[in-house]
A and B are shown apart, each in its own frame.
Chain A
Amino acid sequence: MDPVIQLKNVSYRYPVGDEQVLKNVSLDIGRGKLVTIVGNNSAGKTTLCNLIRGFIPHFYKGDLEGSVLVDGEEIADAQLGQLAEKIGYVFQNPFIQISGVKETVFDEVAFGLENLGVPVDDIRRRVEDVLQLVKIDNLRNKNPFELSGGQRQRVALASIIVMDPDILVIDEPSSQLDPVGTEQVFDIIRLMKERGKTIVLVEHKMDLIAEYADELIVLADGEVKLHGPVREVFADPSYMALGIQYPHAAALALDLQEKGMELPFLPIRDEEVAECLARARRKEGRP
């Protein structure tokens, strides 16, 4: 593996906190991988994102131990501006991502590219593409502050994707989206992966994770408890002890097992349940 993000024995405490929020975290994230971080509220997911993006230690002080490397470079030694070109960060709260200096959605999405001094024609073309991709073309002339929650969340995503960074750190990008919009955003994330991006995604929606993600990192109380292929992680008995949500199909299957049904495998997608039950029946010697 060619790790693009490496954390080695990282522990961190915020300046005003008395406990470590991340505890001895070690991780390698390979180039071109889509890695999803799950964990309960307050587990430290956003903190981990802040660290990869360099906001810790550049913006948030506090006590940081261990090392964080992006492309082999120690993040504490890098400039925040340089990191911004390499790493796009979509904030958990889309309401705070809007720059506040642009009056239309189009200009908002163009803003980052303008700052980089990209030629005007290129900017126009790239913004047009992204407005289509993220399905906000109809909002192009609206003031970014006069949008619904879900519309803002799409604009926030668009304003990062348009920058075309190698690494995307995306913190709960679908929290304000309707169910179909959620799938569309996951399709976009998949597309970014196909374009070779390394993606770190924080998400609570396990059904979507089961559908789209390769690799899962499970964070609990600031520690990485499990890290592996999605199906293996959900099937790992120690996952249950962490009290984190399962995909709905898996939760159903686990309940059925508890009631005495024997199932041949743990379904993690809705459409796998029928097959799982059919195989269970065959094993029972029924048609």
Chain B
Amino acid sequence: MTEIRLKGVSFAYPDGTKALEDLELTVRAGERVAIAGQNGAGKTTAVKLMNGLLRPTEGTVEVGDWDTKDRTTAQLSKKVGYVFQNPDDQIFHNEVIDEVRFGPKNMGFDEARTDELTAWAIGLCGIVKHGEENPYNLPYSMRKFVTVASVIAMDGDVVIMDEPTAGQDQVGLAILKDVLDELGRRGKTVITITHDMEFVAEHFDRLVIMANRRIIADGPASELFSREAVLKESMLKPPSAAIIAQSLGLPEGIIRRKQLEEHILAREPH
């Protein structure tokens, strides 16, 4: 399985914008990591380096035992699947099922395996009923799931999702959680960019926080959510459970609803 390493990575866009400075990051094989932080911090840029859509200006990006500079984007995309922030950048077929089948087929899987992966992916993403529809006639939330399905159907070792939580209702968020769990069971390395701090608190142990072109914190979500200076610099807020816990004078480190509930029930009559 595949580990990802960024070593001393900096990146500037052709227009001169410095988007990343001196990033150090290791995501172990099979690990699940959330990346959060300020708009424009460099999150999307950082993950595009991991699947070869962008190449570092300085430093090295390693995917397993590959140095990305020695590999083509086509090679890398077989190992590292990337769900774009904007689903419309990714969708180009007229039927959902064709869109999802394209990836595994392109990977060289035979017909039977392609069918199997496609069925698995659209089932997991809750879009079976949309199989024959044109993705462009689907609401934003469903188009996003079409892109998630088409990436996981490729069965790469690493899955990166850029803002999958945007615009999702609670059913959509529950499906995303199932996707994370299932990918975990299959040993995949999963990186999720999100602005939804409740989702991070509920489903991730490790959180990487970016601000101003850098990683400014990396560790257990329960610790980072009590670091005020870090949150301030990265324009983040702690999850609601942490805010309520603080207002009730409960100990630090409560970030999930269930934890908060237990503390309240232990203390209040009921």
A287 and B44 CA atoms in complex are apart in Å by 52
Q: Which of B169, B197, B234 contacts A244 (CB 8 A)?
A: B169
In the complex, identify which listed stretch (A22-30, A65-73, A124-132, A176-184) lies at the interface while the others stay far away: A176-184
In the complex, identify which listed stretch (B26-34, B73-81, B82-90, B179-187) lies at the interface while the others stay far away: B82-90
| CB of B234, distance to nearest CB on chain A (Å) | 7
In the complex, identify which listed stretch (A79-87, A92-100, A113-121, A224-232) lies at the interface while the others stay far away: A92-100
A271 and B246 CA atoms in complex are apart in Å by 10
| CB of A185, distance to nearest CB on chain B (Å) | 11
Tell yes or no: B167 within 8 A of A by CB.
yes
A side interface size, CB within 8 A:
53
Q: Which of B86, B169, B197, B241 contacts A204 (CB 8 A)?
A: B169
A261 and B270 CA atoms in complex are apart in Å by 4
Q: Which of A46, A146, A148, A154 contacts B139 (CB 8 A)?
A: A46
Tell yes or no: A241 within 8 A of B by CB.
no
Instruction: Indicate with 1 or 0, residue by residue over A247-287, a CB within 8 angstroms of chain B CB atoms.
Output: 01101100110011110000000110110010011001010
B134 touches A248 (CB 8 A): no
Tell yes or no: B149 within 8 A of A by CB.
no
B234 touches A178 (CB 8 A): yes
Given A179-B197, A249-B240, A280-B268, verify A274-B167 contact (CB < 8 Å).
no
Q: Which residue of B lies closest to A262 (CB)?
A: B270
Tell yes or no: A20 within 8 A of B by CB.
no
Q: Which residue of B lies closest to A178 (CB)?
A: B235
Tell yes or no: B49 within 8 A of A by CB.
no
Given A95-B89, A148-B40, A273-B247, verify A256-B139 contact (CB < 8 Å).
no
Tell yes or no: B230 within 8 A of A by CB.
no
| CB of A32, distance to nearest CB on chain B (Å) | 28
In the complex, identify which listed stretch (B62-70, B102-110, B115-123, B259-267) lies at the interface while the others stay far away: B259-267
A92 and B144 CA atoms in complex are apart in Å by 13
Q: Which residues of A contact B167 (CB under 8 A)?
A: 41, 92, 172, 175, 204
In addition to A40-B170, A252-B261, 16 A-B residue pairs with Cβ atoms within 8 Å of each other are: A40-B171, A93-B88, A95-B89, A142-B15, A148-B44, A149-B85, A178-B236, A182-B195, A245-B169, A248-B240, A248-B244, A255-B257, A256-B264, A256-B270, A270-B247, A274-B248
- B residues with a Cβ closer than 8 A to A are 13, 15, 17, 36-40, 43-44, 85-86, 88-89, 134, 137, 139-142, 162-163, 166-172, 195, 197-198, 234-237, 239-241, 243-244, 247-248, 257, 260-261, 264-265, 268-270
7 A-B pairs with the lowest CB-CB distances in the bound complex, closest first:
A150-B39, A248-B240, A180-B235, A41-B141, A261-B270, A179-B237, A178-B235
